[in-house]
Structure 1
Amino acid sequence: MASSARDRRNRRNRQKNLAIVTGVAVAAGLLGFASYTATKPEEPSAAVRKGDSAASSGASAAPREGAHSELEALARRDAGDPLAQGEADAPVVMIEYADFKCGFCGKFARDTEPDLVKKYVADGTLRIEWRNFPIFGEDSERAARGAWAAGRQGRFWQFHEAAYADGAKEKGFGDGRLKELAREAGVKDVDRFAEDADSEGARAAVKKDQEEGYKLGATSTPSFLINGQPIAGAQPDAVFERAIETAAAAQAGGGAK
């Protein structure tokens, strides 16, 4: 009898593990397809300015239609998250996987995100959740940890703005440079910032975000999820606006597709 009970438990565990693996594989396929869509050869009418991020090379202007529950469930909606802005119960959540060394992430941060904040975060429609996704080496890792450390003192978004300013990434993200950015961002205790940036807590937080991105199949930056809809690359403003408004209408019961 004991052996039979163990066999049943083992079967249940195998089934559970298979379900988890299958869910991750489905999610990875969805974002992988979005990455392909963003990097496939462009149509002449959908030309986008080229840059140094593979995610945005020849990006199509049209977002993928539809939301996927496997991806929508990744929104953390933690009201105390310093790496997020907007109401925790906002109808639309945009998760952004990005790297401070990524030129097209900087383009999005400077040219598109501020308008989305003014238009949708300010009125309670949108919440933006940042995920550190460093893919360009140790400099990227240091910048990600620095951003997390700035968040510990409530200055993440100010650090984000300073790190994505024109010409910022060309100066690198060495320890001294990170302190300069922290001061520019208004971080009050720079010594504490430096300690936090070099802490195991910072490394664990960055690794958690990074592994989440890799499990989803994200291979380039920036990558986004808008209520479970994958969008890859620094797309034109209209792509994000359309995705946000479609998601908001669906949440309101409008059924927009």
Structure 2
Amino acid sequence: MNFPSPIAFYIFSYPVRWYGIAYAIGSLLAWRWGIFLIKRRVFSLCPEILSDFLMIIMPSIIIGGRLGYVLLYSPSYFFTHPLEIFSVWKGGMAFHGAALACAFSSWWFCKRQKISWLSLTDCFLCGAPLGIFLGRIANFLNQELYGIPWKHGIVFPNVDSIARHPSQLYEAFFEGVFLFIVLNGLALKTRISRHSGMLSGCFLIGYFASRWICEYVREPDSKCFEFLGSIRISPGQFYSLPMLIFGIYLLVSKKNLKKF
């Protein structure tokens, strides 16, 4: 299989990569989908609020994703090469870092706007899988985050000559397409959106389950964690555990949601 260059095009000699395009288009699609849901009266939010929120969330994704990769996956390297932290165009982003940054920035935004944090996250997360889908497709085109060897798989020339699972495509489907269908089926066909935090909880649990399953055929980004001598989980699985815990909390502890 022939893969395109990681660089989509140049603007005055500056490379524009597929990954950056995926982030930008994904954020815009999530925003537009949120506007659609608001107009369908699924959420009682003002469309202008979501537009203002977009200006906060886009830099949060980039900064959080980069710092997450630096701190979670390659701290020793960046400790000795600190200036490389700013070389975002060379690759190296982490979903969990981006998610954490978005959580804090959205909480701060809602405090300033005096609106419900969970209502906003419910709305925006219904469209978030669109961005995740495009991000995983960009991973595939960049030949990164590839899977473990499999004789019926795909050869990634920039990696080696071994056929591997196209784990990026698995994640694009489960974390993107499947999660989008589930969340919006619930949002449009049920009254779950009336209970702030429920859709956010479904997103967190759904992402955790999708990531946990796909990690079994994905080449680990770094050394796996070991528990009790025999239980091994990948970094991606380990860093997804807080999402599961908070997602369950949102679903089962409705009486505690008023403080949000």
TM-score bracket, shorter-length normalisation: under 0.3
Higher relative contact order (CA 8 A, sep 6+): 1
More helix per residue = 2
TM-score (norm 1): 0.22
TM-score (norm 2): 0.22
